[in-house]
Structures are given as structure tokens and as C-alpha cells.
Chains A and B, each alone.
Chain A
Amino acid sequence: MSTIVTGSGDAATRGTLAPARPGRFTLARRWLAPIRTAQRLPRWTLYAGAGLVVLFVLLALLAPLIAPYDFDQFSSHGVRFPKQGHPGAEHWFGTDVRSTDVFSRVVYGSRTALEVVLSAVVFSLLLGVPLGLLSGYSGGKLDRLLVLIMDALFAFPYLLLAIVIAFLLSDRLGSGVVTAALAITVVYVPQYFRVVRNSVISVREEPYVEAARALGARPATVMSRYVFHNVVQSVPVLATLNAADAILTLAALGFLGYGIQPTVAAEWGYDLQRALADAGAGIWWTGLYPGLAIVLLVLGLTLVGESLNDVLNPLLRRRRLEKVQLPPRPGAADAAAPSPGPPPDAGPGGRGEP
């Protein structure tokens, strides 16, 4: 469905009815076409969000090169850093109560955040998507049971769930990246489950699935070859939005003291908790910078997710209107001559508002 619309939109913007030029980048172009043809606002927000995300990915990858000190380093050449020192040339973002450099912790914090969130999203995809496929496709008692459990998980205050899981796991796995990621995973599995299951249920009755079944395809084949591809389209948007949410959950865990311990890695939520005691004394730099980092990363991911939704979802998408350049008519000089070419308004449908 979306590829058809995309292809025609692509052709329309170039003002010809020729099929997309075959070449090396056909696939990439087809994927990117909705972005090119999107309206200005969603495109800008997409770029802005992607820019923010790329910035943090670079910070995370190049952390040792960018950060002047290690995340738990409180002295250099035998000289201890000042405690809660003002931002200055030595320490751009100042130092905190343990004399560590706030800037370095913010930079290393992006590494922790991305590690945890990436693993949490992968874990929940690996659990939620297959469970949703299975539940939606098989139906019956299994489906009803899974739906009940997932609904219960979904209804439960997510933060409480994450706290309790993190607390219980920390005894066995320690308070590291894996524990935090698993605690967050439990929160997001029900969402993937729901989305995938609901779309499986609507796809299941489509004629092409019926046809595959009638041809004698085994359930595994039907699921992997016919149902899966039509169902996963909503997953990227959800995954991006969940990643944003996961950053917040990780920070909340850290803030409450159930996240990653300060000796293991730098984590923004923990830093904010320590900064709370500073706020009363008017020390603003220990809290402001980690907090801003959270806001910007979440903002970036949210913008990417929501504008992807605007751009990719055929129901929401509004294309920008473009001038159609008509192909020159053979008998353009005498306007009375009937043109053998395509009628001028032959631009394929689907342009403009759906």
C-alpha cells in the first residue's frame, strides 16, 4: 500500500509519469521518498530531531576523546578537583559534590543512556513482536491469556514495575546496564505486543493471507512471509518513541537510586538526585546540565518518532503541494490542436491531502 502511493508521489514530484529510474539506490530512494515529499514542518522536525540524536550518538561513541576527564575521576596529577566548583576554564560545567567533572559525566552519561536504551528496545522487540505475532495469529485461549497478562502489565504504574524489577534483579545481576535494561524492557513489552497483535488480527483475514493458507502454506510460513512484513511497519515509530520514554525511565530509576550505580557508569538521573541537595544552596550547574542532556535527547527521539509517524503513516500524511511541470506538448504552438500526450491533470491521485 504505502509503496504504491510512494512511487506515484515520487513520479509526481518530477512531473513525469515515468516509473522510478532503476538504479543502485532504488530501494533507498523508495524508502526516503515519503520524507522528500512530506510537508515542510514534519520534515524540519524530523531533521532537527535526527540532528539531536546524531549529536548524542557522536558524544557516546567519542566520549573518551571529548570528555577531558574520566567519569569518576576527582583529581588530576595528584591535585584534587574543587568540590562543587563553579563552571570555568578548567571545568566547563563545574564540578559536583564528589569533585568529579560535570561535563565529563554528562558526556559519558550519553554513552550509558544509549547503551541501556538500545538494549532495552532490542530486548522488548525480541519479546514483544514474536509474542504479538503468535497471540494474534493463533487466537483462542492462548491469545486471551496473553492479552490479560499484558493488559495487567500495561495498566500497572510503569515506574513502580520498573523499580521493583530493578530492585529484585540488582541482587543477582548487580546494578549495571543489564539490570536497568531488563527493568525497562518489562515496561515496554506490552506495547509492542498490543500493536503487533492488533495489526496481525486485522491482517489475518486479508485475502492474500487466506490465499496463502489455501495454497497449503504452513502457519510458520504464513506468519514469516505474509503477515510479518505487513505488521512490522508500525514498529519503527513505536521503537523510536519508546526509546525516548526509556531514557526518562532510566533517569527516573537512577534518580530513585535503583538505576546504575555511580561507580559503574555515569548516569544523568543519579546526578540529578545528587544535585537536588545542591539546589537549596543555589548550586545550579550540577543539576542543570545532566537535566538538559535528558531533555535534549528525549526531545530528539520524540521529534524523530512523531515526524516519522507523520511522514510514514498514510492516514496522517499530508504532502506538500508542488508545481507539476507539464511535459511539452508536441503542438504547443497552436493551442487548438488536440494533444496526443497525457492529459494535463494526469498527475496520479494521492497528491495533496488524503
Chain B
Amino acid sequence: MAKAQTTSLRSYALTRLGLVLPMVLILLTMVFVLMRVAPGDPISAALGGHLSAEQLAERRHAAGYDRPLVVQYLSYLGDAVRLDFGNSVTDNRPVTSIITQNGAATLELTLAALLVALVFGVTLGLVAGRLRDTPVDVAARLAGVLSYAAPVFFVGLLLQLLFGPMLGLLPTSGRASPGVTFALPTRTGLMVVDSLLAGDTYALSDVLRHLVLPAVTLGLLTGGVFLRLVRVNLLQTLRGDYVEAARARGIGERSVVVRHAFKNALVPVITVMGLQVALLLGGALLTEQTFNWPGIGAQLVHYLNNRDYIAVQGIITFFALVVVAISVLIDFVNAWIDPRVRYT
């Protein structure tokens, strides 16, 4: 029995990995086509008007944009696989360093937001499901709908108004005060971790104070999804036979709910977390714009405005790879937790 299971987990993993290749290929092709549909080649789009025609042609040749499209496509695929995205046209910065430096800011924001989302969403979801059809449930569901209906940047704006000028409690822009940014040695790029490593409590409190509003803003968006999901799952779980059986054995209602139902109601959250990546990345982009957070989404907007297609292409390719990687990861975790997944 145990042997059969391990085999099936491995074969599931292999099948799933087999599906990754076409997915990556299609995503990369999509990015390439999108960026080449844009009028003009990347060099003249970014630098046209700044350089003479000969200089432009020279730059085009150096970057290989006078080659046939098929060749460009294949070399793009090769570069993408080697995670080499070239240098940005406008400020000649390696796209990889944009990704690692600004990506760290986005990662920090996203992780903090996930934490907020889990605390807010799961707690309210469990409470609402437990107290179904009571005013608490109605209020929690309303909170769930509202957190979806309110755009991230509107929530961010309201929080800025409230905590910035009105209460004067929290900073509303950037990752840290200029002095802290300057003094803090960069090790992981995650400023919370860096300030912990440096043992700098002043920097830590400064960084955390900057993190609160963006994380709450983004966390509320995702938390609403968790809330609805956990609530519905708990309702379904509470109807399950084994819950009934636990009740029949005379176990107290509190214990039935906490020890038997909660755990199983939470499993699907993992699946949905995988689907949330797209929402989270989009939300992160908007949050970064709202709070001047120097993340990768803000960089994307910056380079898009400067018509730097190389940088844009690199960043989008990176996003595509992240999405695929996370969805595979989530599927593995799911298959590991829930054996039924493997047999489908």
C-alpha cells in the first residue's frame, strides 16, 4: 500500500512537471509576440529622437534586432531559460539586478500582506462559518464583499488620509526613512530581516512602521478571498459524516469544531493561495504605486512609461516564470497533503 502511494506521488510529480514545459513555452511566446507587436524595435522606441539614425542602426545591430524574427525568438527563449534578460536600454541596468533588488521589496510586501490576509481572512472566515446566519456572519460576509469591491489604491488612499495627515501616526510612502535606507547594510534585501541581522532596533521599528499600511492594504484584498473560502469550506466540513460521528460520540461542540472541522476546512486555502498569486502580483503593483514602494511592479510601470521594452520584456518574463513555479509548488504541496489529488 505504502509503496503504491509513493509511486503515485512520484508519477504525479513527473506528469505535473511534464505539463510545465508547454506552459512555459506558451507564456514566453506570448510575451515575445506582445513585445514585438509594439511599433518599432526596442532600441528606436526607447532612444528614438535622442540618437542619430546611424547610431540607432549601430545599437540595433549590436543588440541583434536586425536579425530575422525567428532567430530573435530562439535567442530570447535561450536567454530566458538561462535567466539572462539583458540590460535595460534607457539606463543600461542588468534586468536581473532590477529583479533581485526591487523584487526583494515586492517579496517583503507580499509576504507581510499574506500574513495579514491569513490572520484577517482565516479568523473571520472560521468565526463566520461557526456562527452561520447570525449578525456576525452577515457582518463578516459584508466585510468580505467590501474588501473585494474596494480597489486597493482606494483603500490605500483612505489609510493614508487617516494615518497620515489626520492622525500623523504612520509614514505613508517608501520602505524606510532616508537615513535608515542609507545606513542599513543590505544582505537579503528584505529590510526587516536585514535590520534584525544588524541588530538595529531603531531601523527595525522604522521599517516596520513603513510596512504596516501597504501590508494591510494588500492583505485586506487577499484576506477577503480567504474569508469567503474558509467560511464556505467550514460549512461544508461541518456537514460531513465524521463531524456528525464526533458529535454522536458525545464530544463537545467546541471541540468538534476546533479539533475536527477547522483543520479540514483549511486545506483548500492552500490551493487557492496558488491561484491568488496573479491577484497578489497585480495588487502588489497597485499597492507599490500607491505607497511609493520601490518594488518590481513600480519598476515595470517606470520602464513601460520610458518605452524600455527590454526591461519590460525581462520583468514580464520573470513574472510568467514565477507564476508557473508557484502553481507547480502549490500542486505538489496539495498532492502531498491530500492523496486524492494524485489519482485524478
Q: Which positions in A face B, CB cutoff 8 Å?
A: 41, 148-149, 151-153, 155-160, 163-165, 167-168, 171-172, 244, 248, 251-252, 255-257, 269, 272-273, 275-276, 279-282, 284, 287-288, 291, 294-296, 298-299, 302-303, 306
Q: Which has the most chain B C-beta neighbours within 10 Å: A163, A164, A287?
A: A164
Q: Which residues of B contact A157 (CB under 8 A)?
A: 277-279, 281-282, 285, 319, 323
- Contact indicator B153/A272 (Cβ below 8 Å): yes
Q: Which residues of B contact A251 (CB under 8 A)?
A: 151, 153
- Contact indicator A168/B149 (Cβ below 8 Å): no
Q: Does B23 contact A (CB under 8 A)?
A: yes
Q: Does B305 contact A (CB under 8 A)?
A: yes
- Contact indicator B316/A287 (Cβ below 8 Å): no
Q: Which residues of A contact B178 (CB under 8 A)?
A: none
Q: Given the known A-B contacts A160-B316, A299-B146, are A168 and B34 also in contact in the complex, defined by CB atoms under 8 Å?
A: yes
Q: Does B17 contact A (CB under 8 A)?
A: no
B144: min CB distance to chain A, Å = 10
- Contact indicator A244/B149 (Cβ below 8 Å): yes
Given A163-B300, A298-B150, A303-B145, 7 other A-B residues pairs in contact with their CB atoms under 8 A = A157-B285, A165-B34, A251-B151, A257-B301, A269-B153, A287-B154, A287-B157
Interface residue from B23, B145, B153, B319 paired with A148 (Cβ < 8 Å): B23
- Contact indicator B148/A255 (Cβ below 8 Å): no
What are the 8 A-B residue pairs with the smallest beta carbon separation, nearest first? A159-B282, A291-B154, A282-B165, A298-B149, A157-B281, A152-B26, A299-B149, A157-B278
Contact with A along B30-66 (1 / 0, CB 8 A): 1000100111000000000000000000000000000
Kindly state the separation between the CA atoms of A302 and B34 in the bound complex, as whole angstroms. 32
Kindly state the separation between the CA atoms of A155 and B327 in the bound complex, as whole angstroms. 9
Kindly state the separation between the CA atoms of A143 and B216 in the bound complex, as whole angstroms. 42
Q: Which positions in B face A, CB cutoff 8 Å?
A: 22-23, 26-27, 30, 34, 37-39, 133, 145-146, 148-154, 157-158, 160-161, 164-166, 172, 277-279, 281-282, 285-286, 289-290, 300-301, 304-305, 312, 316, 319-320, 323-324, 327
Q: Which residues of B contact A155 (CB under 8 A)?
A: 23, 27, 278, 323-324, 327
- Contact indicator B278/A280 (Cβ below 8 Å): no
- Contact indicator B160/A280 (Cβ below 8 Å): yes
Closest to B26 in A: A152
Kindly state the separation between the CA atoms of A158 and B320 in the bound complex, as whole angstroms. 11
- Contact indicator B148/A302 (Cβ below 8 Å): yes
Interface residue from B149, B164, B278, B305 paired with A158 (Cβ < 8 Å): B278
Kindly state the separation between the CA atoms of A276 and B290 in the bound complex, as whole angstroms. 7
Q: Given the known A-B contacts A158-B278, A167-B304, are A279 and B289 also in contact in the complex, defined by CB atoms under 8 Å?
A: no
Q: Which residues of A contact B285 (CB under 8 A)?
A: 157, 159-160, 256
Q: Can you offer 24 A-B residue contacts whose CB atoms are under 8 A?
A: A152-B27, A153-B30, A155-B23, A156-B27, A157-B277, A157-B279, A157-B281, A159-B281, A160-B300, A171-B38, A244-B149, A251-B153, A252-B282, A256-B286, A269-B153, A272-B151, A272-B154, A279-B161, A279-B172, A282-B161, A291-B150, A294-B154, A295-B151, A298-B149
Kindly state the separation between the CA atoms of A248 and B305 in the bound complex, as whole angstroms. 22
Q: Which residues of A contact B166 (CB under 8 A)?
A: 282
A164: min CB distance to chain B, Å = 6
Q: Which residues of B contact A302 (CB under 8 A)?
A: 145, 148-149
Q: Given the known A-B contacts A256-B301, A295-B150, are A152 and B23 also in contact in the complex, defined by CB atoms under 8 Å?
A: yes
A284: min CB distance to chain B, Å = 5
Interface residue from A156, A172, A244, A272 paired with B157 (Cβ < 8 Å): A272
- Contact indicator A276/B157 (Cβ below 8 Å): yes
Q: Which residues of B contact A298 (CB under 8 A)?
A: 148-150
Q: Which residues of A contact B301 (CB under 8 A)?
A: 163, 256-257
Q: Given the known A-B contacts A156-B27, A252-B282, are A280 and B154 also in contact in the complex, defined by CB atoms under 8 Å?
A: no
A84: min CB distance to chain B, Å = 14
Kindly state the separation between the CA atoms of A148 and B316 in the bound complex, as whole angstroms. 19
- Contact indicator B305/A149 (Cβ below 8 Å): no
Kindly state the separation between the CA atoms of A244 and B149 in the bound complex, as whole angstroms. 8
Q: Which residues of B contact A281 (CB under 8 A)?
A: 165
Kindly state the separation between the CA atoms of A271 and B281 in the bound complex, as whole angstroms. 23
A53: min CB distance to chain B, Å = 13
Kindly state the separation between the CA atoms of A252 and B161 in the bound complex, as whole angstroms. 20
Kindly state the separation between the CA atoms of A252 and B288 in the bound complex, as whole angstroms. 12
- Contact indicator A160/B319 (Cβ below 8 Å): yes
Kindly state the separation between the CA atoms of A153 and B23 in the bound complex, as whole angstroms. 10
Kindly state the separation between the CA atoms of A244 and B157 in the bound complex, as whole angstroms. 21
Q: Given the known A-B contacts A148-B22, A159-B286, A255-B286, are A279 and B316 also in contact in the complex, defined by CB atoms under 8 Å?
A: no
Q: Given the known A-B contacts A151-B23, A159-B285, A160-B281, are A295 and B37 also in contact in the complex, defined by CB atoms under 8 Å?
A: no
Closest to B153 in A: A255
Q: Which residues of A contact B34 (CB under 8 A)?
A: 164-165, 168
Kindly state the separation between the CA atoms of A116 and B328 in the bound complex, as whole angstroms. 35
Kindly state the separation between the CA atoms of A207 and B7 in the bound complex, as whole angstroms. 38
Kindly state the separation between the CA atoms of A280 and B159 in the bound complex, as whole angstroms. 11
Kindly state the separation between the CA atoms of A273 and B165 in the bound complex, as whole angstroms. 18
A251: min CB distance to chain B, Å = 5
Kindly state the separation between the CA atoms of A41 and B145 in the bound complex, as whole angstroms. 15
Closest to A153 in B: B30
Closest to B155 in A: A291
Q: Which residues of A contact B145 (CB under 8 A)?
A: 299, 302-303, 306
Q: Which residues of B contact A255 (CB under 8 A)?
A: 151, 153, 286, 289
Kindly state the separation between the CA atoms of A153 and B133 in the bound complex, as whole angstroms. 38
Q: Which residues of A contact B161 (CB under 8 A)?
A: 279, 282, 284, 287
Closest to B165 in A: A282
Kindly state the separation between the CA atoms of A229 and B319 in the bound complex, as whole angstroms. 39
Q: Which residues of B contact A158 (CB under 8 A)?
A: 278-279, 282
- Contact indicator B158/A291 (Cβ below 8 Å): yes
Kindly state the separation between the CA atoms of A157 and B316 in the bound complex, as whole angstroms. 10
Kindly state the separation between the CA atoms of A284 and B160 in the bound complex, as whole angstroms. 10
Q: Which residues of B contact A148 (CB under 8 A)?
A: 22-23, 26
Kindly state the separation between the CA atoms of A123 and B60 in the bound complex, as whole angstroms. 38
A318: min CB distance to chain B, Å = 11
Q: Which residues of B contact A151 (CB under 8 A)?
A: 23
Closest to B22 in A: A148
Q: Which residues of B contact A257 (CB under 8 A)?
A: 301, 305
B99: min CB distance to chain A, Å = 14
